[in-house]
């Protein structure tokens, strides 16, 4: 599974579930979600993203963020909002 | 210009400075990363206070530097042409703020070079120590120099007309007021408000803040123009 970096300048890289999981856990903790709930949410969102990736062999990192945010919104809307805002805050 | 009027101009300029959002964005992001990395609340408070201290120090240094520059160029008697030029600068920056300050996208991205925004985001993500947060505070003020130069210059011009002791008072007043927005965010986060709510408020009200910043500069320019140029010109007739 190749992830093409959004700006196209860096090399494509393999999808790392752990990286996505860590970022989802971090954003959940940022909005004061309890540790256990953050882990469960991250696990569920990662499963949904991996399932989506089965039908899309080559995607951009932006696509991954969009799909992750879409699923995260179901379980934790505030965390999803902050996740979407990360690259558009500064 | 008497002392109360001078201090009022400095206070208004500092309020306009406080409405600029780069440092607030960096502080919001820094808080989100600190909480997301499972660091303690005490650590979050230490990092954010160091950040605010860095911002305040750089603001104070910039204001002092511009004042020193102006005093060495013009002494205590600033020529009217300089007052008029600075009023022009205020109006120009106000129009730029109305037109460009926020990028026309979702979020709170402001009109600064993208490489600098990326640099600040990366530095925010890797900030662990208070010293790093302090440095981040210094850098975030530099990042917004294009906009803060207007309130800083008019304040410096007013400051150099004051007696020495009042110059120091003026610098302290400016620095404290310019940090109001940062202290508000800091107090909100410290008292347990969610960062997502703070960011939502900022996004929802960004155009209002943009408008007030520009309007504040226009009011400042008109007041100074009338007070320093029109009054003395009419007085000579």
Question: Quick one: pLDDT at residue B70?
Answer: 95
Judge whether B68 and B192 are in contact, CB under 8 Å: no
Is the distance from CB of B19 to CB of B213 less than 8 angstroms?
yes
For residue B170, what pLDDT is reported? 97
* Residue B47: other Cβ atoms inside 10 A: 24
Domain containing residue A81: 13-88
Residue among B35, B37, B196 whose CB faces A81 most closely: B196
Q: How many CB atoms lie within 10 A of CB A3?
A: 19
Task: Please state the φ and ψ torsions of residue A14, each to the nearest 5 degrees.
Answer: -75, 150
Nearest residue to B185 via CA among B27, B21, B17, B20:
B27
| Domain residue limits at B127 | 3-236
Q: At a CB cut-off of 8 Å and minimum separation 6, what does B73 contact?
A: none
Buried-state track B201-221, b at ≥16 Cβ within 10 A, e below 16: ebbeebeebbeebbebbbebb
* pLDDT per position as a tens digit, A39-84: 999 999 999 999 999 998 788 888 999 999 999 999 999 999 999 9
- The count of domains in chain B is 1
Residue in B17, B36, B39, B37 with CA at minimum distance from that of residue B140: B17
Q: Is position A2 within any domain?
A: no
What total of structural domains would you count in chain A?
Answer: 1
Comparing alpha-carbon positions, the chain B residue that sits nearest to A78 is B196
Closest residue on chain A to B116 (Cα): A90
- The span from the CA of B175 to the CA of B14, in Å, is 7
Q: Which residue of A has its CA nearest to B24?
A: A90
Give the per-residue pLDDT at B232. 78
CA atoms of B29 and B7, how far apart (whole Å): 33
Kindly determine whether residue B38 and residue A29, on different chains, have CB atoms separated by under 8 Å.
yes
Contacting residues of B for A88, CB less than 8 Å apart? 105-109
Q: Which residue of A has its CA nearest to B110?
A: A90
Interface test with A, best of B33, B196, B199, B202 (most A CBs within 10 A): B196
Q: Which of B22, B32, B106 sits opposite A82 (nearest CB)?
A: B32
Please report which residue ranges of chain B form alpha helices under DSSP H.
Answer: 3-18, 22-36, 41-74, 80-100, 114-125, 130-143, 145-159, 164-178, 180-190, 195-204, 206-224, 231-236
Query: Looking at CA atoms only, how far is residue B114 from chain A in angstroms?
Result: 9
* Partner-chain contact B29 A32, CB within 8 Å: no
The residue behind tokens 């579930």 is: A17
Q: How deeply is B119 buried, as exposed, middle or buried, from its count of CB atoms within 10 A (0-12, 13-18, 19+)?
A: middle
Q: Do A30 and B26 touch (CB under 8 A)?
A: no
Whether A5 maps to a domain, the answer reads: no
What pTM was computed for the model?
0.92
The closest CB to that of A29, out of B36, B109, B197, belongs to B36
Residues A10-22: what's their mean pLDDT?
87
- Rounded distance between C-alpha atoms, residue B92 and residue B97, angstroms: 9
Residues of chain B with pLDDT under 70: 236-237
Q: Are A59 and A4 in contact (CB under 8 A)?
A: yes
Mean pLDDT of A14-35: 94
A89 touches chain B (CB under 8 A): yes
Chain A residues touching B22 at Cβ < 8 A: 90
Q: Which of A29, A78, A88 sits opposite B106 (nearest CB)?
A: A88
With b for 16 or more beta-carbon neighbours within 10 A and e for fewer, the B102-114 pattern comes to: beeeebbbbbbee
- CB-closest option in A31, A79, A90 to B29: A90
Sign of the CA dihedral with B182 first, then B183, B184, and B186 last? positive
Structural domain contains residue A59: yes
Return the residue of B nearest to A38 by Cα.
B36
A14 membership: H or E segment, kind and range: strand A13-14
Note whether A32 contacts B25, CB cutoff 8 Å. no
pLDDT band at residue A8 using 50, 70 and 90 as cut-offs: low
Residue A1: pLDDT band (50, 70, 90) is: low
Q: Confirm whether A8 is domain-assigned.
A: no
Residues 6+ apart with CB under 8 A from A49: A20, A64, A67, A68, A71
How many beta-carbon pairs below 8 A join chains A and B? 69
| Among candidates A79, A84, A90 on the partner chain, residue whose Cβ is nearest the Cβ of B117 | A90
For the ranges A2-6, A10-14, A26-30, the one whose mean pLDDT is highest: A26-30
Kindly state whether A11 is in contact with chain B, defined as any CB-CB distance less than 8 angstroms.
no
Residue A22 lies in a domain: yes
**Contact at CB, B25 and A90, closer than 8 angstroms:** yes
Contacts 24+ apart (CB under 8 A), A47-51: A49/A20, A50/A17
Sequential DSSP letters for A16-69: -HHHHHHHHHHHHHHTT--HHHHHHHHHHHHHHHHHHHTT-SEEEHHHHHHHHH
Report how far residue B120's alpha carbon sits from residue B6's, in angstroms, rounded to the nearest whole number: 35
């Amino acid at each position: 599974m190749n992830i093409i970096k959004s700006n196209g300048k860096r090399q494509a890289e393999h999808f790392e579930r752990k990286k996505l999981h860590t970022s989802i856990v971090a954003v959940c903790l940022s909005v004061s979600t309890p540790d256990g709930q953050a882990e469960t949410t991250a696990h569920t969102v990662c499963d949904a993203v991996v399932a989506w990736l089965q039908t899309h062999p080559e995607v951009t990192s932006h696509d991954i963020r969009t799909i992750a945010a879409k699923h995260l919104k179901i379980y934790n809307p505030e965390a999803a909002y902050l996740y979407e805002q990360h690259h558009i805050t500064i | 210009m008497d002392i109360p009027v001078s201090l009022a101009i400095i206070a208004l300029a500092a309020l306009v400075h406080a409405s600029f959002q780069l440092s607030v964005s960096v502080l919001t992001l820094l808080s989100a990363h600190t909480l997301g990395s499972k660091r303690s609340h005490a650590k979050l408070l230490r990092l954010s206070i160091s950040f605010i201290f860095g911002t305040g120090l750089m603001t104070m240094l910039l204001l002092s530097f511009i004042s020193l520059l102006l005093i060495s160029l013009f002494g205590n008697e600033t020529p009217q042409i300089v007052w008029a030029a600075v009023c022009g600068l205020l109006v120009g920056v106000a129009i730029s703020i109305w037109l460009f300050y926020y990028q026309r996208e979702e979020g709170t991205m402001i009109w600064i070079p993208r490489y600098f925004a990326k640099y600040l985001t990366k530095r925010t993500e890797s900030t662990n120590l208070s010293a790093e947060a302090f440095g981040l505070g210094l850098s975030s003020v530099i990042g917004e120099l294009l906009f803060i130069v207007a309130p800083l210059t008019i304040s410096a011009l007013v400051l150099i007309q004051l007696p020495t002791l009042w110059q120091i008072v003026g610098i302290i007043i400016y620095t404290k007021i310019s940090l109001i927005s940062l202290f508000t965010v800091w107090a909100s986060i410290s008292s347990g408000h969610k960062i997502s709510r703070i960011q939502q408020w900022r996004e929802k009200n960004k155009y209002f803040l943009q408008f007030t910043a520009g309007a504040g500069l226009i009011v400042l320019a008109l007041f100074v123009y009338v007070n320093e140029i029109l009054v003395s010109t009419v007085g000579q007739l």
